[in-house]
Structure 1
Amino acid sequence: MKRILLLLLVLISSVFDAQINLNIGSTNVGSAPVSSFFSYSYVQQIYLKQEINTNAAGNITGLTFYLDPTATITDSSNWTLYLGHTSKSTFTSSTDWIPASQLTQVFAGNVTKNNGKVEVVLTTPFPYNNTDNLVIAAKESAPSIDINNFDEVFRVYPYLPNSTLYYKGDREVIDPASPPGGLRADYKSAITISGLIPNTTPGCPIVLYPANNAQYISLSPNISWQAVSGASSYKVSLGTGTGGTDIINQQVVSTNNLNLSPSIVLNRDTTYYLKVTAVSANGESAGCTENTFKTIPPIPVNDVCTGALVASTFPYSYVQSDAMSSTNNGGFILACANDGMNDGLWFKMIGDGGQYSIKVAPSTLSFDPKIGVFLGTCSNLTCVGTRDNGGGGTAETLVIPTISGTEYFINVGSYEDNVDMPEDVFTITITKL
């Protein structure tokens, strides 16, 4: 009898242990797994393998979603659920749906809310391979909406940008084989996945910044990562070689913080190796991969006026790929009254009495370039003219008349006249008109 009772207790314990809980305490709401505020919706969500963190492949037998306990979903209860495997980690566009042919229908019918939960027992268990990421898709087909205190009532938690892709509307039921363009969200459903046994140790954090293999990272980066369910703290290591800890050595960070900056300024043009792990009472996440990133290049040779690059043959064109490493030197260029600018990158040319067009085209939306043209010497500049008509990412063009034999200095910097802002990659083209 004792053996039978012990066996039953073990079996019961294993049943309750066979579930993955992901942020089920969240109080945020969103349009996943379905929209309660529109008649029809179709939603796809990607759960990463390392986030699921199961100890082995297995059958998913049920899904539980969470919602505001006071909410009603009477008119948002006709669900069809699909599961599938995917190598994607995020959706790349509003039409980047995972094809219906790669999904398996696991449930169709009406769902009900009970104690702030919608528990769905899958009519077709889904064999999760524990190799790929998991996609959960849901179609809601009830022709009406629920009126609640919130437009949407299902609990979600913040995650990687574009983790969810959804469409919601009032005109017609969405066909998963040909869904219209939707909207992407940086959240996912708080969820319980039944049938899978969780690892005893937490999963590996996803590093948000710097991204793996990122280039042109600042010398004082704010390293950040995604929160991990079950983590009680995190450990961060950073070094100049694989597995290195010479910059940051297994520094413990509390769960109140999901970021850390090195205590020293990093070296320019250097590759660094970063690892972040999660820690719990049961141990530390294992098998976490390193991210590598490279810092900004050396200070450009034309960072100061005296090092200006010479434009002697026209049309002249130059790609300033190291612009983000420029400094503001002695301050702002204030030669043009009431029209200052950052001290950026410098060029010079000799006038011939004709007109010249100076065009600066930035390569990033974040860089708002300004052109300044000056006479005189680097220590005593006289204003010829400036141009900053557009915003970030907009090309600027300035046309100037020249005096034969006169030297002109050209500064390409950020438009601000009292805030030191970094420059970024741009192409300068000087053409004789």
Structure 2
Amino acid sequence: MKRILLLSFLFAVLNINAQINLNIGSSAVGSAPVSSFFSYSYVQQIYPKQEINASAAGNITGFTFYVDPSATINDSSNWTIYLGNTSKMTFTSGTDWIPSSQLTQVFAGTVTKNNNKVEVVFTTPFAYNNTDNLVIAVKENSPSIDINNFDEAFKVYPYLQNSTLVYKGDRAVVDPASPPGGIRVDYKSAISITGLTANLAPGCPIVMYPSNNAQFISLSPTITWQQVLGADSYRISLGTSPGATDVINHQTVNGTSFSLSPSIVLNRNTNYYLKVTSFSVNGESSGCTDYTFKTIPPIPANDACSGALQISEYPYTYVQSDGMSSTNNGGFALACANDGMNDGLWFKFTGNGTPYTIKVSPGVASFDPKIGVYNGTCDNLVCVGTMDNNGGGSSETIVVQTTAGTEYYVNVGSYEDSVDKPEDVFTINITRP
């Protein structure tokens, strides 16, 4: 009899320990795992491997979701749950659903709220491989809604941007094989995952900036990462080869960001390897991989007026792919009264007495270009005209009536006349009759 009681106690302890809790103390509510404020919903949520932080692969046998104490879910309780292993980290658009062919149905039936929880035991356990990320998809099939104080009933917590994709509507039950377009949100369900055992040490942080394989990173970036559940601090290493620490050597940081400026300035056009680990009384996260990024190119040859690129053949087209490395050369182009601009990238041509059309098309939405045209000399520019009719990401065009034999300088810079803003990728086209 004692042996039976001991085994029963052991199995109970193992069952309690085989559970991973993710932000179950959250107080916010949202449209996940289902929407209680609409008749029907279909929600996919991605939980990264680093966040789950399981000690090994295993069978997931159920979930517990958490409900606001004042909320009811009587008309939001007909659920179908699907799970999948996925390499996807976030959703790229409102239609970027993980296909139903990659999901396994684990539950279908009615759920109930009990002690502010919804506990679901799967009909069939799901084999989580602990290599990929976990996607949880829930379809709510009830034709009615619940009226709650905060509209939605279930507890959520903020996480990666676009890590959840939500459809909610009142027309019809969703077909997971062809779901309608949804909205992406940056929160997920507070959840307990039954069947998996968590590592004692905290998981590896997800670096938010710079992203892995990012290009054109500034020379003094601020590194940021996602907060890790259970972490007391973090450690940063940065080097010029995989696993190296020649720039930063396991520096301890208490928050979720670290600015390299002003003590550390990186080199231009250089690959760097970044590793961030989390630390607690139970140890340091293990198996964290390097994030690699490359810094901005060298300063462009046409960064200053004195280095302006000579234009001699028309039509002229030039792609300025290294514009983000330009400097302001200690000042602003102020030759045009009350219409200054950043000292950006420079071009020059000799007029022939006909109108020249100059068009600048930015390569990124964040760059708001302005065109300045001058004659004279670099140390004594005379205003011919400027153009800045549109906003970021939009092209600018200016037509200049030239004088034969006169040399003209074209400055493509950021529109601000009192703030040094970097330029970026753009294409310049110059045509003449």
TM-score, structure 1 normalization: 0.97
Which shows bigger deviation, 44-53 or 418-427?
Answer: 44-53
- The within-5 A match list for 1:101-250 is 101-250=101-250
Which position in structure 2 is the counterpart of 1:60?
60
Q: Distance in 1 between matches of 2:313 and 2:347?
A: 13
SS in 2 for 1:122: strand
Deviations 1:261-300 (A, max 9, x none): 1231111111111000111211111111101111111111
- Any residues of structure 2 matched to 1:11-50 within 5 Å, and which? 11-50=11-50
Deviation per CA, 1:10-39, whole angstroms, max 9, x where unpaired?
322211100011111222222110011111
Moved more, 298-307 or 144-153: 144-153
Q: Partner residue of 1:266? A: 266
SS state at 2:14 partner: helix
Distance 2:246 2:102 in 1: 45
Structure 2 CA distance for aligned equivalents of residues 367 and 209 of structure 1: 20
Residue 145 of structure 1: CA displacement? 1.3
The one-letter code of the counterpart of 1:258 is T
Q: How does 1:358-369 map to 2 (within 5 A)?
A: 358-369=358-369
What is residue 295 of structure 1 aligned with on the other side? 295
Write the distance in 2 (CA, Å) between the matches of 1:260 and 1:431.
47
Q: Which amino acid aligns with 1:46?
A: I
Structure-2 separation of matches of 1:190 and 1:252: 29
For residues 50-89 of structure 1, the C-alpha deviation after alignment (integer angstroms, 9 at most, x for no partner) is 2212112211111011121111111111111111222212
**In structure 1, the residue corresponding to 2:12 is in which secondary structure?**
helix
Query: Residues of 2 paired with 1:195 and 1:44: CA distance?
Result: 21
Other-structure match for 1:89: 89
Secondary structure (helix, strand or coil) at the match of 2:108 reads strand
1:113 corresponds to which letter in structure 2?
K
Moved more, 335-344 or 2-11: 2-11
**C-alpha separation between the residues in 2 aligned to 1:153 and 1:221?**
40
- Output the CA distance in 2 between the equivalents of 1:296 and 1:71: 51
Q: Within 2, Cα distance between the matches of 1:432 and 1:295? A: 37
Helix, strand or coil for the counterpart of 1:223? strand
Deviation at 1:3, TM superposition (A): 5.8
SS at match of 1:250: strand
- CA distance in structure 1 between the partners assigned to 2:28 and 2:363 by the alignment: 37
Deviations 1:157-182, CA, capped at 9 Å, x for gaps: 22222211111001111111211111
Q: TM-score, normalised by structure 2?
A: 0.97
* Identity score, percent: 73
Q: Distance in 2 between matches of 1:84 and 1:291?
A: 26
Select between 402-411 and 231-240 the one with higher mean Cα deviation. Answer: 231-240
Q: What are the equivalent positions in structure 2 for 1:414-433 lying under 5 Å apart?
A: 414-433=414-433
Let me know the Cα RMSD of the aligned residues. 1.4
Distance 1:14 1:109 in 2: 27
Q: How many residues align?
A: 431
Following the alignment from structure 1 to structure 2, what is the Cα–Cα distance between the partners of residues 5 and 129? Answer: 33
**Residue equivalent to 2:326:** 326
SS in 1 for 2:84: strand
| Structure 2 counterpart of 1:404 | 404
Which 10-residue stretch deviates more, 386-395 or 83-92?
83-92
Q: Which moved more, 1:404-413 or 1:175-184?
A: 175-184
User: Cα distance, 1:247 vs. partner?
Assistant: 1.9
- 1:7 shift after superposition: 4.0
Cα deviation code 1:377-428 (max 9, x no counterpart): 1111111000111111001111101000001010000011111111000111
Q: Name structure 2 gaps, 5 residues minimum.
A: none
Equivalent AA in structure 1 for residue 167 of structure 2: Y
Distance 1:232 1:158 in 2: 19
